[in-house]
Structure 1
Amino acid sequence: MTGMQGVTPPAVHRDIALKCRLEPDTELLVNVYRNRQGGDAVARGINSGTYNAYRPSGAYQASAHPHAEGWSVWARYVEGLDLAPLAQTRIVRVPDYGRQVGYEGVRVVEVEISVRCQTCGGPRGEARSEFFVRDGVRRVRDAWTNACGHQDDYAAVLAEVRRGTDEPRRGAITPVDGGQFAQAVDLLAEALAENPWLSAKKAIPLLDGHQQSDAAQAVREFAKSSGSGTNTSAKSAAIYLVHLDTEARAADTSTTTGDEK
């Protein structure tokens, strides 16, 4: 099913769940939603078994990703399978022809990119080595074919990398002033400015190394409950820490305000 949707009908969920069962460990598109909030909510519902079609809880893994028309949710069936968590990035070798006017050479560079298609959010194809010849020199680069049909040209891949380094997305990750995890959130935000694809797995030792053991433990528990395991993004972990501090602040406020008796 394609196109932006507010609510996915139960019949569609049943159809997608069945297709996932028939192709275990293969990510399939559930739907495309208008915003990230809607996509994340559906992914959480699939992971937790809130939607009947995806029960029992944990039988499916789902996640939301940027899509040209909103946010897409992709799911896979994992019950009874010994599967590694889905990676979020990969290292590939790509030819760089330079951006300078008149540049005619080429160099092969190793870059870290998302494992998701930048058009639809689906999984990128597996990388394979490929020979090419330029200026009489035989070189090796990586190539891949996306099952979704969207093609990745090398110029677009390099532009993707530059967006991650030249324009790091600290986003709206703002710690709760005075919150238990405020320092940890700032630490993760700074790390994300250097590497937007930082995973929770790498964020945990970073937090431990800066004496943020409580935050590190909270991230461990968050990653464990996530469909992507320790490959959950550090950005999601930081947002989760903000959520914990926000909830704690709200609970504290509720016990100190109101009419006195």
Structure 2
Amino acid sequence: MTTFPDTMTVRVRYDAQGHGAPGVLTVTVDAVCPSCGGPRGRDTIGSQIIRHHGGEIAVDRWTNPCGHEDVDDALLREARERSARLLPDLAVPPPPESDDAGPIALILAATQGRQRMHAAEAAALLDEHGYEMAAGLVRAEANVRGGHLSAKGAMSLLRDLGAPVPLSPSLLPDTSVMEPSP
């Protein structure tokens, strides 16, 4: 009997709501259909090219034997939930006495009063404040986009991946903050 891994790692499209072209994220999801528990169509995975405003991105597509369709937004949500289960310390908020409001708030504060800020600057700032994982995600996305990613796009990426969004200009902490590395 052939056994398959419990997970699949696939490329999915994500839209940085209102911030330009779509991007590609590589995510790990369970190898079973979330609707019925049957196997996902790992043996049918193929690349699909998506064209957007003169650019192209490649994502993975497959057909599940059960007939249930996997859509990118649901896959991103599933990957976020899976990460939260496996890496719970990423979802732990800072202590109440902390001034830390998370990686998005950090970038937002740094962009105040500036016309432009590149994602590379945002990633360096995140590294400097102990958010190595968030910085790596920003760098990877900037690389996929050929360097064409602003700090605003980096904030959108982190928001889409589940990092906290500041609740107000006062940058109040959110309960789902990606905790900085010790």
TM-score, normalised via structure 2 length:
0.44
Compare the two structures and name the one with the higher strand fraction: 1
Larger Rg, first or second structure (1 or 2): 1
TM-score by length of 1: 0.31
Higher relative contact order (CA 8 A, sep 6+): 2
